[in-house]
Amino acid sequence: AGDIGALYNLAGGTEFSVGNFSKADFVAQNEGALSGGSSREILAVSEDDRKKLLDELTQELKSKGLIEAKGKIAKDQYPIEGAATFVPDTQEFSHKVGEEATTLKLILSGKTKVLVAARENIDLLLMSQLETDVPEGFTLRPDQIDLTFVPVAAKEEKSTKTATAKQATQPSSQDFDVQITANLLPKVDPEEIAGKIAGKYPNVAKEYLSTIPGFTRVSISTTISLPGKLGTLPRLARNIVVEVGAER
């Protein structure tokens, strides 16, 4: 009932129908106004409440499962995050739809499934597509490429009456849009640089490195720190390791 409480009590003299009879044959009437009754507003669980809680907890568990899966995936495999799915095996709400409640709880457990691809295949494909766009004086390395896989709606496949049983049991495919972020590094020869800065003071070495195209900053660390004029870089180039990385 939508109208309940003392506010909606019927006044005296109100006519009522009796059973299935029409008011022309039988009619009932209250002599005095009806009294009593009360109403109050309550919080009740809705279907939207349950769906929102389920969606939020599913996303949270999927994210946690994805992080755990990344730690177990072999280095030669690439996790496709956009294809990660959470498969529940336990789902229990504390209240049903329509029940009075101020809080709603959900017990949810399951497994996160992650699609992986061979890193070598992805790297080869990316390098073949991107190398032609790398400007002169720079180089592109697979470890400087970040990928984001976004699943797109699967295309509808037209079925035919002649489809064989083998075709019908083939696994479905998934299409993805791939967003690529790549850091370009200066094209340099680490051995040549080591030879140029061997025996130099750190400030002189930094000055030379700043002339390299694409340079932003340098960090020099040594295993042994000597004072004053002795504080040069190793005099032998083979004792110097030059690493080039992207600014993040």
* Cα angle 84, 89, 94; round to 5: 115
105: pLDDT strictly greater than 90 = yes
Quick one: pLDDT band at residue 183, thresholds 50, 70, 90? confident
Q: How confident is the model at residue 131 (pLDDT cuts 50, 70, 90)?
A: confident
The pLDDT of 120-127, averaged and rounded, is: 85
> Is the confidence at residue 109, as pLDDT, over 50?
yes
135 has a pLDDT exceeding 50: yes
Domain ranges of the chain: 47-117, 188-239
Q: pLDDT tens across 139-173, in order? A: 888 888 888 877 776 444 444 443 343 443 444 56
Looking at residue 43, its pLDDT comes to 85
Of 4, 6, 7, 13, the C-alpha closest to 32 is: 13
Report pLDDT digits (tens) over 56-74: 999 999 999 989 988 888 8
Q: How far apart are CA 114 and CA 165, in angstroms?
A: 28
Of 22-36, 102-116, 139-153, which range is least confident? 22-36
**pLDDT surpasses 80 at 28:** no
Query: In this predicted structure, what is the pLDDT of residue 223?
Result: 81
Give 201-240 pLDDT, tens digit per residue.
989 999 998 888 778 888 888 887 778 778 889 899 998 9
Enter the DSSP assignment of 8: G
The answer to whether the beta carbons of residues 88 and 109 sit under 8 Å apart is: yes
pLDDT attached to residue 38: 55
If residue 130 lies in a helix (H) or strand (E), which one and from where to where? helix 119-130
